[in-house]
Structure 1
Amino acid sequence: MDIAYIDKSQIAVWRAACEQVAAEKTYLGLVSLPPFDPERALPNRMIANNWPMYCALDNGRVVGWIDIIPNEVPECAHRGTLGLGLLASHRGQGAGSRLMEAALAHAPQCGLTKVELAVYTSNLSAISLFLKFGFSEAGMWRDYRRLDGVTYDALLMERFLG
């Protein structure tokens, strides 16, 4: 499996991976994605600004991704929000760690000094990964999401860089 910075030619396959993980209804904030417009897709903004966005590739197919999006408020632009997803078929094989290494190494180049995230408390493997990479608990959002009769809490985590 290769880890590479997102490329414009990968946007459609990245989107397909996002849709597949969203459909699981367990890991991402959205369970279905808005209509796809390749010209306005997130990777275009990430590439244009050289913000961290990497893909895990299995024989050229996107099987996972990570992004760190800087806060749009100028006084908070030193903070970035991390997003991560892996197809079920590729979890537990080290791709998450390799994606984290790439994105966290890239983040300071964008002026980021802090990375933040929210993860469902039920996602123990992701929490374990974030702890492994030096993230600490910053708080909790209780009753964060309700879906199909289930309530999810979100653990807020942060890591200071450098």
Structure 2
Amino acid sequence: MEIRRLRPQDANAYLEIRLEALRTNPEAFASSYLEESGQTAEKYNERFAADDSFTFGAFNDSALIGVITLIPEKMTKLQHRASIVAMYVTPEKRGNGLAKELMKEAIKTAKTIEGIEQIHLTVVSSNAAALGLYASLGFKTYGHEKNALKIDGIYYDEELMVLFLNESIEN
């Protein structure tokens, strides 16, 4: 297995796994499959060529099996922060530590960006596996958003979590 930053030539594979994620786990993402199914790989080609975010992929041979994106804040008053979004591992590859390796890569990258002091993320409150993973890496819940997402009439709460990089633990 290899984890590396995605490049423009990975855009088609990323689009495929992104749409799979939105179909498989709609409660884990603010975007919906319907909203993103009309996207083209060109959107991601441009994103991966830019330097304002970092999307990493886990590959098994040449197959993309997991992804994560780290987005440093651009606004002056928020430049000490970054966010983790779009974390996904294909169902058949879960439970093998792959998500933790992707998280560690994103955290390691955040530590190399001048000025980044904290990383934020949100996670559906009922996702015990993800909550446990993030806690094991030092993330702490600082808030709870009731009814954060609404999918087909069902509400999902989210935990707001933060990792202060000067307090992070190495795992």
- One fold, TM greater than 0.5? yes
Structure 1: gaps spanning 5 or more residues: none
Q: Retained in 2: the 8 A contact 1:52–1:107?
A: no
Question: Which amino acid is the alignment partner of residue 106 of structure 1?
Answer: T
Aligned length: 161
CA contact (8 A) 2:52 2:72 kept: no
Please say if residues 50 and 110 of structure 1, whose CA atoms lie closer than 8 Å, have aligned partners that are also in contact.
no
Other-structure match for 1:95: 98
Residue correspondence of structure 1 range 39-78 to structure 2 within 5 A? 39-41=42-44, 44-49=46-51, 51-78=53-80
Give ranges in structure 2 of 5+ residues lacking alignment: 167-171
Q: Within the alignment, does 1:29 sit opposite 2:30 as a pair?
A: yes
Name the SS for the 1:49 alignment partner: coil
For normalisation by structure 1, the TM-score amounts to 0.91
Which structure dedicates a bigger proportion of its chain to helix? 2
Distance in 1, Cα, partners of 2:29 & 2:63? 20
Displacement, 1:161? 1.1
Instruction: Give TM-score, length-normalised by structure 2.
Output: 0.86
- Contact kept, 8 Å, 1:51 with 1:110, in 2: the verdict is no
1:35/1:147 Cα in 2 relative to 1: closer, same or farther (>3 Å)?
A: same
What is the identity percentage for the equivalent residue pairs of Structure 1 and Structure 2? 22
